[in-house]
């Protein structure tokens, strides 16, 4: 059967080749179907006209019908604005624009009927409407008004006349063309059972709502569908994997683990660490391949959990491998683990790009004979030359630097895939984790080791340097160390280095009594490591750096983190940086330095940082402020976010609900043969074909 919604968009009335190219390029709209799934971002109630004499200062957006009496430009420089005096016979309002004055004067004429739409404010007894929407009254007849859709368009589109209005017309044309009912994309069974609106009715109402009530139903139906297929896709993949791969069974908790626990463990495990280790042990003994995401705020003690999990593999005659994103981190893990295992008969080796020649050969050989029991390293461990005799357990630290494909590569290093523990300090809100890593089980360390003093966070404007430096001097006087971090802009590394160099010069001049380290991304890894090491050893007191120090380094003696231009950092990045201090027993500080001029959103971000140290709270706030697309980690993870209507931050409950429904369907119909589900599997197939990101997860 030919599906009309697959028809090329250029054949739609009002489109043509030129506009089609524009729609392809700017909005990724290629077919009629793509157009129908391009949803409005807001609706405006145009069911009623107001009179000017009704206006008071507290009204939301309203519309007025009347004429412009005259134009006037007032003010100078940045204050320059165009004012149009507009009247409907019951009073006068001032329409005000700060931009595009010339264009607007040419476009609107006095003494013609317009419908003006905007938010009125009352100032000094005069009513203003800033940057209103204006339409000729004859184009917008009241009968077609109601909830009017507004579509996002790009600057390019607007310049070519493809604005929200134009899209609205195209939608109209599309629906006129689609005479019959659009084929349903969910099974009848689901539609009935969950009282969903049909697809046809939902699409019509999402663009042209017949009532607010119907709009709500339409939104629900479309969100349901979107999230449902995301979950069905992930869960089916998980099920397949479980069927295909049996896991290694680690039943024994033996000598190595027990010796470590009894003799080497330097402190009591926190309750959360104990719980997580139990979860991991259970996974490893289940016969299923473990695939677990371990989330724990910075400093929560993930390394220890990783080590103890690896020891279980050793007790069962297998090797373990731990991967970190940078050489500094890998080296640090290596040292920590060597120390923790002191006096025990376990051979641990470190493999990174910089390990070459004889040493490398020796390690590779040891892996094949099984003498090397724990391998710690960077991406270097993924190379084809690195082979194990019996790899049973893989730990990936700071997961967001590694993609799904790399995870898969590690599995291939053994005939039976090893258990995988992925650790991240970027707390991912549960709802997002479910969507992103639906195939991973999640463990959370939600408790810090005892005795930590919460980091005190202070927001300071950059004209208060004297008191900032006095504070730093005091800490250094007490034997502490200090980080000073400058932002990194990708587009212009030159400027970054300039900022950093200037800052470095400044700090050296300000603190002649101190030794100062400097680290940035353009340095060679070996140079960077050496400089970092000087700071770790306490040879330098101040570390001036770009965000290269963001992840994982552990210098317990560092008690101050100064972040310059803090307004240029995202929330989770700020939190990561802050996590570099507060690792020892001393009171630590994080100083966020900004200029005076801050946007509302930035102000909120800084406020959240000052108020809370809780990474999950921050991640939730981040998700709400920025939306999931921007969330650190999602880009690199290989599963980009392209939800058209559902909102991970707000629709968490619905996500949970549809996940359960999808799970039930897969349990009942694991191989996809039940006729009642035919529509679902077909739709899933077609989505996987058109959505590259979906295909990428399997
Ligand atoms: P992260 O979760 O950020 O990787 P680490 O594993 O580096 O954290 O641990 C941070 C610090 O806390 C380390 O110095 C570690 O020795 C210490 N630590 C870990 N677990 C405990 C515990 N149960 N009690 C006290 N200190 C702990
Ligand atoms: Mg760590």
What would the pLDDT profile of 526-576 be if each residue is shown by its tens digit?
788 788 889 989 999 999 998 766 555 778 899 999 999 999 888 878 988
Q: Contact at 8 Å (CB) between 251 and 313?
A: no
User: Is the CB of residue 296 below 6 angstroms from any atom belonging to ligand 1?
Assistant: yes
Distance 397 CA to ligand 2 centre (A): 7
Q: How far apart are alpha carbons 622 and 630 in whole angstroms?
A: 9
CB proximity list for 501: less than 8 A, separation 6 or greater:
none
Quick: pLDDT tens for 326-368. Answer: 787 888 899 999 999 999 999 999 999 989 999 999 999 999 9
User: Is the CB of residue 582 below 6 angstroms from any atom belonging to ligand 1?
Assistant: no
Residue 202 — very low, low, confident or very high, per pLDDT cuts 50/70/90?
Answer: very high
Q: How far apart are alpha carbons 347 and 294 in whole angstroms?
A: 25
Quick: pLDDT tens for 588-612. Answer: 999 999 988 888 888 999 999 999 9
What is the number of the ligand 1 atom nearest to the C-alpha of 302?
Answer: 2
Beta-strand relationship, 42-45 and 441-445: unpaired
Quick: pLDDT tens for 681-694. Answer: 999 988 887 765 55
Quick: pLDDT tens for 389-433. Answer: 999 999 998 765 555 556 666 666 767 789 989 888 776 666 666
CA-CA-CA-CA torsion for 447, 549, 454, 295, nearest 10 degrees?
A: -20
Q: How far is CA 543 from the centre of its chain?
A: 29
Quick: pLDDT tens for 64-118. Answer: 999 999 999 988 877 888 999 999 999 999 999 988 788 888 889 999 999 998 8
Compute how many other C-beta atoms are within 10 angstroms of the C-beta atom of residue 19. Answer: 19
Q: What is the arithmetic mean of pLDDT over 194-223? A: 93
Take residue 67 and report the two structure tokens written for it: 């004429």
User: Strands of 113-118's sheet, edge to edge?
Assistant: 120-123, 126-130, 92-97, 81-87, 62-74, 113-118, 133-136
In the beta sheet, which residues pair with residue 121?
A: 128
Q: How many helices (H) and strands (E) does the chain have?
A: 24, 22
User: Is the CB of residue 300 below 6 angstroms from any atom belonging to ligand 1?
Assistant: yes
SS3 390: coil
User: Is the CB of residue 269 below 6 angstroms from any atom belonging to ligand 1?
Assistant: yes
Residue nearest ligand 1's atom 27 by CA: 449
| Residue listed under structure tokens 């101050």 | 560
Beta-strand relationship, 516-519 and 542-545: parallel
Take residue 620 and report the two structure tokens written for it: 């939730």
- The residues whose Cβ lies within 5 A of ligand 2, an ion, are 552
* Average of per-residue pLDDT values in the chain: 85
Residue nearest ligand 1's atom 20 by CA: 301
User: Is the CB of residue 4 below 6 angstroms from any atom belonging to ligand 1?
Assistant: no
User: Is the CB of residue 272 below 6 angstroms from any atom belonging to ligand 1?
Assistant: no
Q: How far is CA 16 from the centre of its chain?
A: 37
Q: How far apart are alpha carbons 183 and 198 in whole angstroms?
A: 9
Using alpha carbons, select from 544, 629, 636, 535 the residue that is nearest to residue 325: 636
User: Is the CB of residue 615 below 6 angstroms from any atom belonging to ligand 1?
Assistant: no
User: Is the CB of residue 304 below 6 angstroms from any atom belonging to ligand 1?
Assistant: yes
| Residue listed under structure tokens 């400044």 | 506
Q: How far apart are alpha carbons 366 and 357 in whole angstroms?
A: 14
Task: Kindly identify the ligand whose nearest atom is closest to the C-alpha of 307.
Answer: 1
| Residue listed under structure tokens 């996002």 | 152
| Residue listed under structure tokens 């005799």 | 389
Distance 23 CA to ligand 1 centre (A): 52
Choosing from 301, 340, 427, 536 the residue with most ligand 1 atoms within 8 A of its CB, the one to mutate for a pocket test is 301
Res 181 pLDDT > 90: no
Question: What are the DSSP E strand ranges found in 406-531?
Answer: 419-424, 441-445, 456-461, 481-485, 516-519
SS3 607: helix
């Amino acid at each position: 059967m030919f599906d009309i919604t697959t028809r090329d968009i250029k054949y739609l009335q009002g489109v043509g080749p030129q506009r089609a190219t524009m729609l392809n390029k700017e909005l990724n709209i290629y077919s009629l179907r793509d157009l129908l799934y391009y949803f409005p971002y807001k609706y405006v109630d145009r069911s009623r006209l107001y009179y000017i004499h009704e206006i008071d200062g507290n009204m939301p957006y309203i519309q007025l019908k009347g004429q412009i009496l005259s134009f006037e430009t007032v003010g100078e420089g940045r204050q320059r604005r165009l004012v149009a005096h507009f009247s409907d016979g019951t009073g006068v309002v001032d329409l005000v624009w700060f931009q595009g004055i010339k264009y607007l004067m040419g476009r609107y004429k006095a003494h013609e009927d317009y419908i003006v739409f905007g938010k009125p404010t009352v100032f000094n007894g005069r009513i203003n409407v800033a940057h209103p929407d204006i339409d000729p009254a004859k184009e917008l007849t009241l009968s077609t008004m109601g909830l009017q859709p507004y579509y996002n368009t790009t600057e390019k589109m607007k310049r070519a006349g493809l604005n929200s209005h134009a899209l609205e017309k195209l939608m109209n044309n599309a629906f006129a063309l689609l005479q019959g009912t659009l084929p349903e994309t969910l099974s009848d069974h689901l539609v009935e059972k969950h009282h969903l609106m049909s697809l046809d009715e939902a699409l019509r109402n999402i663009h042209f709502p017949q009532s607010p009530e119907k709009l709500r139903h339409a939104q629900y139906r479309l969100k349901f569908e979107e999230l449902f297929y995301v979950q069905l896709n992930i869960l089916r993949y998980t099920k397949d994997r479980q069927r295909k791969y049996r896991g290694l069974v680690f039943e024994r908790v033996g000598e190595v683990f027990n010796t470590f626990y009894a003799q080497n463990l330097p402190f009591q495990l926190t309750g959360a660490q104990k719980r997580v280790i139990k979860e991991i042990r259970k996974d490893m003994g289940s016969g299923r391949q473990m695939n677990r995401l371990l989330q724990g705020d910075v400093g929560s003690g993930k390394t220890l959990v990783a080590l103890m999990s690896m020891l279980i593999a050793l007790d069962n005659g297998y090797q373990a491998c731990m991967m970190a994103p940078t050489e500094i981190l890998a080296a640090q893990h290596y040292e920590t683990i060597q120390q923790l295992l002191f006096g025990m008969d376990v051979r641990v080796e470190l493999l990174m790009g910089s390990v070459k020649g004889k040493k490398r050969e020796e390690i590779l050989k040891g892996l094949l004979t099984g003498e090397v029991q724990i391998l710690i390293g960077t991406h270097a461990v993924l190379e084809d030359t690195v082979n194990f005799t019996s790899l049973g357990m893989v730990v990936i630290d700071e997961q967001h630097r590694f993609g799904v494909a790399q995870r898969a590569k590690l599995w291939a290093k053994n005939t039976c895939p090893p258990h995988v523990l992925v650790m991240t300090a970027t707390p991912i809100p549960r709802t997002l984790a479910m969507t992103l890593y639906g195939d991973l089980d999640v463990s959370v360390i939600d408790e810090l080791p005892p005795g930590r003093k919460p980091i005190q966070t202070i927001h300071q404007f950059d004209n208060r340097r004297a008191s900032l430096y006095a504070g730093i001097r005091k800490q250094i006087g007490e034997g502490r160390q200090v980080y000073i971090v400058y932002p990194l802009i990708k587009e212009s590394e030159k400027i970054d280095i300039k900022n950093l160099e200037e800052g470095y010069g400044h700090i050296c001049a300000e603190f002649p009594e101190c030794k100062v380290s400097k680290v940035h991304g353009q340095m060679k890894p070996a140079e960077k490591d050496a400089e970092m090491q000087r700071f770790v050893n306490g040879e330098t007191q101040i570390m001036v750096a770009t965000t290269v120090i963001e992840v994982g380094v552990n210098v317990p003696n560092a008690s101050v983190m100064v972040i310059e231009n803090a307004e240029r950092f995202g929330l989770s990045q700020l939190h990561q940086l802050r996590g570099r201090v507060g690792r020892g027993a001393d009171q630590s500080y994080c100083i966020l330095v900004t200029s005076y001029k801050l946007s509302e959103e930035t102000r909120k971000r800084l406020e959240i940082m000052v108020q809370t140290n809780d990474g999950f709270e921050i991640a939730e706030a981040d998700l709400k402020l920025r939306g999931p697309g921007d969330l650190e980690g999602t880009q690199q993870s290989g599963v980009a976010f392209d939800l058209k209507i559902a909102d991970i931050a707000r629709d968490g409950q619905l996500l949970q609900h549809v996940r359960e429904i999808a799970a039930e369907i897969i349990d009942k119909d694991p191989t996809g043969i039940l006729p009642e589900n035919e529509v679902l599997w077909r739709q899933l197939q077609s989505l996987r074909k058109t959505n590259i990101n979906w295909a990428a997860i399997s």
